[in-house]
Amino acid sequence: MTEKAFQDYYPDQMSYCFGCGRLNEHGLQIKSYWQGDETICTYLPKPSHMAIPGYVYGGLIASLIDCHSTGTAAAAAYRAENRNMDSQPPLRFLTASLHVDYLRPTPLGVPLEVRGRIKQVKGRKVVVTSTLSANGEVCARGEVVAVQVPEGLIPVGKGT
Amino acid sequence: MTEKAFQDYYPDQMSYCFGCGRLNEHGLQIKSYWQGDETICTYLPKPSHMAIPGYVYGGLIASLIDCHSTGTAAAAAYRAENRNMDSQPPLRFLTASLHVDYLRPTPLGVPLEVRGRIKQVKGRKVVVTSTLSANGEVCARGEVVAVQVPEGLIPVGKGT
């Protein structure tokens, strides 16, 4: 596991995402890291993140898979160019499509582990598959098609 | 548009969902209604619900589509049985799979409209397709496979 999370390399103006922006004080602020050829993110849901009592809300699961996957896509793109995530120009990805299969109810109250794998890197597109586990058991599977943010959408200011 | 939202018919112990539970004070508390054979939900994102400045976070879009679709599934199941949503036994749905295609960046600061359509009702399974629009323009499309909550998962207590 590296010391600094993928998201900690994002430029300030790209760090307000509700799911993964370190500067969004109301958001989830997830952190993703390499672990060999996989990527890993651990998140402890809040008590309010419930679907029905005792189980995690599916929208949170989708959000974790979404942001961990776009972070993984960015990390993979840097790795494919054989450069560090703090080198220029910055690479940032948005979600083109998100698919989640909910395999079993996800227990609330324990850390969730999202593991990402790079399925494809092709031009500006990266496909990431993932599992979300609780207590070592896979509860959901995800697939995200991430595309590099078009330059016109990258904010130039601080962008609050 | 009916007076009472689908979610307002959910029994108390099923009303803590982060996305649609009227009793989850930290949640989104979305409200869904019939409009002819379609269902509709309008939600104004909070300023913190951003992806990059000016645009809505994809995880929120997934969450709105998710909960509006499970609500639509429940309403469709009651309608298929030709009974009101306050009749017994209560029908409540969970998400088996969620797919979202993000067609274009969704502007932040305006109400989002999610429209659901019943694609299939088969036994305990309902498939709902949906669009999410901003300023009258479709920004995302969703498809949710919802399944009726197994009786063993329905909490009997107040369940906080």
Interval A141-159: pLDDT, tens: 999 999 998 766 666 543 3
Report the gap between the CA of A7 and the closest CA in chain B (Å): 13
For residue B82, the tally of other CB atoms under 10 A from its CB is 7
Average pLDDT of the segment spanning B121-126: 92
Return the amino acid letter for A99.
H
Mean pLDDT, chain B, integer: 92
From B54-58, B76-80, B151-155, the region with the lowest mean pLDDT:
B151-155
Q: What is the percentage of chain B residues whose pLDDT exceeds 90? A: 81
The pLDDT score that the predictor gives to residue B4 is 93
Q: Which helix (H) or strand (E) holds B135?
A: none
CB B147 within 8 A of CB B125: yes
The pLDDT score that the predictor gives to residue B150 is 73
Put simply, the chain B residues between 26 and 45 with a CB less than 8 A from any chain A CB are: 26-27
Interface probe with B: pick from A26, A30, A57, most Cβ of B within 10 Å: A57
Mean pLDDT, chain A, integer: 92
Q: Touching check for A98 and chain B: CB below 8 Å?
A: yes
Contacts of B59 in chain A (CB under 8 A): 18-19, 59, 62-63, 66-67
Interface probe with A: pick from B97, B139, B143, most Cβ of A within 10 Å: B97
CB pairs under 8 A between A and B: 146
Quickly tell me which residue has 């590296």 as its tokens: A2
The pLDDT score that the predictor gives to residue A95 is 96
DSSP bridge pairs for A42: A113
The pLDDT score that the predictor gives to residue B160 is 31
Q: What is the pTM of this model?
A: 0.94
Contacts of B153 in chain A (CB under 8 A): 52, 55, 105
ipTM of this model?
0.93
Which residue is closest to B26 within chain A, CA to CA? A48
| Tens digits of residue pLDDT in B63-77 | 999 999 999 999 999
Q: Return the biggest CA–CA distance within chain A.
A: 46
Q: What b-and-e string marks burial along B147-157, b requiring 16 or more CB atoms within 10 Å of the CB?
A: bbbeeeebbee
| Tens digits of residue pLDDT in A83-120 | 999 898 888 899 999 999 999 999 999 999 999 999 99
- Residue contact B53–A18, C-beta within 8 A: no
Which residue is closest to B64 within chain A, CA to CA? A59
Q: Rounded to whole angstroms, how far apart are CA atoms A54 and A72? A: 29
| Tens digits of residue pLDDT in A32-88 | 999 999 999 999 999 999 999 999 999 999 999 999 999 999 999 999 999 999 898
